[in-house]
Structure 1
Amino acid sequence: MAMKKSHATIEVFSLSFLDIIACAFGAVVILILLAKQTDEGNADQLTLIEQRLHAQHQAKTQYEALSATLQQQMEQLKTRQAQLARQKAHTKTMASILHEQQDRTGKLTQISKQLTDDIQSQQTAATQQGQHQQRDPAVGGIPVDSHYVIFILDTSGSMKRIWPKVIDTMNEVLNNHPTVRGFQVMSDNGEYLLKATKGQWRRDSTQQRHLIINAMKNWHAASSSSPIEGISEALQRYKRYRSQLALYVLGDDYSGSSYDSALAQINQLNQAQPGKIARIHAIAFNSGRSTERFTTLMVAIAQHNNGSFITVSP
């Protein structure tokens, strides 16, 4: 009996130990499996987070680049708008200037037409006056009864370009005067061709004419294209030769500012009792730069001082 109890106790003990060992082993296996799954899950989550962070960084970078591009385009737009504003302002200014120029051109056209009409009226009046007035014998419409002749020449550049024609005209005038006892030449500013003969006369002869012509070729007198000074000098310097004196004003332009004051000055200086100190004639040249101003002035002066006005073409 004793032997049987001992055998039964050994079998019971053996079964319990194996169960414990098996359970423990199973638990270890389960723990290992659970730990492995947890590590794999954390690794996936970290990978996903890194991907999202990377995507976010890329999005931020793209956003900053787009913002910079947009800002640059905005600055360019502002610059362009400013340029357009300046162009509009410039266009408006130019349109205003153009309008003013058109108005000025219209006014100048009216003034030019008025001057032309006045000149034509004066020339017509001069012609009518000449037809009804008893005049001395004349050549080419210019009285040649004077014994002393003074030439007052515009020595400007435009006249110098036709200087041979001016000299030829002077010779024709002297040739047409039947008795010339003396002549003189001065510039429109009152400067004498031969300064040593101031207040004197050059005797009309072939030799004296050659001398004058040669001197004129190298004459560089200043000119203001205004004969008032020359006429005034001639009338004051040679007034004792009244009624025997003729002035010939040769020019192509008048630069003075007033016709009325110039005419009044000449009329006053040319007064004599009785009559006038000198006849004042005018010869206008078409130099290519001629204006109607010389004609306007000299037609009036000739009318008021027993003179004539003629035009010479090149």
Structure 2
Amino acid sequence: MKRSRRQTLEISISFLDVISCGFGAIVLLLLIAKTVEFSAPPQSQTNADQQHITLLQKQLFSLRGETRVMTQTLSGKREQLSELEKSIARLRRQLASVERQLQASAQADTTERDELILAQQILSEEMQRLQQRGSLNAKQLIGGIPVDSEYLVFVIDTSGSMVDYAWSKVRAELLNILDIYPTVKGIQVINDMGDYMFPSYRGKWLPDTPGRRRAIIRQMTHWRPFSNSSPVEGIQRAIQALYASDKKISLYVFGDDFTGSSIHKVLSTVSQSNRQRGRNKQRVRIHTIGFPVHFLAPGGRMETASRFAALMRELSYRNGGTFVGLNSLNETQ
């Protein structure tokens, strides 16, 4: 008997299981999607964010502008710094040049000082030798003027009459007086108002060197400070600024006339300034040189010239000095 074969099913149980699971998953997703709805952000929150973004953009633009300004300022500062660095470099070069000049000058001064010291030693030895022979003593006079001082002060009338008519003679007499003092410890030149020829040495002594003596004569060519034709201010300032008890000082007063009100007042004022405290002795010796400008120049004031001569004669007599009245304005006489 012929057995019948079992009919094969086209769709198996396993396939149906897969299909069922798939449909179940789709249903589940639909349920989930329905319960979770999309919620857009509220309009107010959107406006606030937009305003915040706009504010940040404005701040960004402002910062960019400030950065641009700061960059330009920084560039300008860098240029200024570069110029300052160039100026500093230039000043450093100038300073180095000045220092080299000062070093050279100091070396020259040292050489000149050594030569001066040597000359002083030679002169001292020669003076000692002459003193031993009795040929020289401390009170020797040259042209009637004692030359025992170690420091010299020239008080020169720089009025118009002196400058216009007697200046060459003044320079010649200044040089003659320096010649009778071969070497001293200090020199100073002021006018009758107390103005210094070399302001940097105000209240100090000029060193006595050949170069300094030549500089004084050269400076006389264009030295023209104001003058009132009265020597009292210059004498007072010279004594107050330069007097020292351990120094032998001589003042040389150059002038041609006296326009002050009282000779007696000048004599009293100078005597008070020149008297040592507690002693009836002068601090400095005062010599006077009279130039005959008003006796020789056209339109001269004879009266003021005569008053000057009387004042200078008495002034030198009271202060241990000598009055020399010149009779010519010719520098060779």
TM over 0.5: yes
SS at 1:211's partner residue?
A: helix
* Offset at residue 242 of structure 1 (A): 5.8
What whole-Å deviation, never above 9, does each CA across 1:210-232 have from its counterpart, x for those lacking one? 21122221112001000000000
Q: Distance in 1 between matches of 2:202 and 2:266?
A: 24
> How do residues 270-289 of structure 1 correspond to structure 2 at under 5 angstroms?
270-272=274-276, 274=279, 275-287=281-293, 288=297, 289=300
Cα distance in 1 between the residues matched to 2:246 and 2:260 = 27
1:226 to 227, 230, 235: 230
- Whether the 8 Å contact between 1:144 and 1:178 is mirrored in structure 2 is no
Q: How many residue pairs align between the two structures?
A: 181
Gaps of 5+ in 1: 1-134
Q: Which residue of 2 aligns with 1:215?
A: 219
Report matched runs for 1:168-187 at 5 Å.
168-187=172-191
Aligned residue number for residue 301 of structure 1: 315
Code of the aligned partner of 1:307: G
1:142 maps onto 2:145 in alignment? yes
Looking at structure 2, the residues matched to 146 and 179 of structure 1 have their Cα atoms a distance apart, in angstroms, of 10
Compute the displacement of 1:157 (Å): 1.3
**1:153 is matched by which residue type in structure 2?**
I
Contact 1:243 1:276 in 2 (8 A): no
d(CA) in 1 for partners of 2:271, 2:180: 26
Aligned to 1:157: 160
Q: CA deviation at 1:249?
A: 0.2
Question: Which one-letter code corresponds to 1:244 in the other structure?
Answer: K
**Given the two structures, how large is their TM-score scaled by the length of structure 1?**
0.55
2:220 counterpart SS class: helix
1:189 aligns with 2:203: no
2:260 alignment partner AA: G
How many angstroms apart in 2 are the aligned matches of 1:156 and 1:242? 34
| Larger deviation, residues 163-172 vs 199-208 | 199-208
For residues 145 and 178 of structure 2, what CA distance do their matches in structure 1 show? Answer: 12
Report if the CA contact (8 A) 2:151-2:247 is conserved.
Answer: no
TM-score, with structure 2 as normaliser: 0.52
- Structure 1 residues 8-42: Cα deviation after superposition (integer angstroms, max 9, x where no partner): xxxxxxxxxxxxxxxxxxxxxxxxxxxxxxxxxxx
Query: What stretches of structure 1 move > 3 A for 4+ residues in a row?
Result: none
Match of 1:300, as an amino acid? E
Q: Which protein has the larger Cα radius of gyration, Structure 1 or Structure 2?
A: 1
CA-to-partner distance for each residue in 1:244-266, whole Å, 9 max, x for gaps?
00000000001110011110110
More helix by share: 1
> Which region of structure 1 is more displaced relative to structure 2, 224-233 or 170-179?
170-179
Counterpart in 2 of 1:199? Answer: 203
State whether structure 2 residue 283 is matched by structure 1 residue 269.
no
Shift of 1:243: 5.4
SS at match of 1:247: strand
Q: How does 1:20-59 map to 2 (within 5 A)?
A: none
Q: Post-superposition shift, 1:204?
A: 2.1
Q: What is the CA distance between 1:178 and its match in structure 2? A: 4.5
Structure 1 vs Structure 2: percent identity of aligned residues?
Answer: 39
RMSD: 1.8
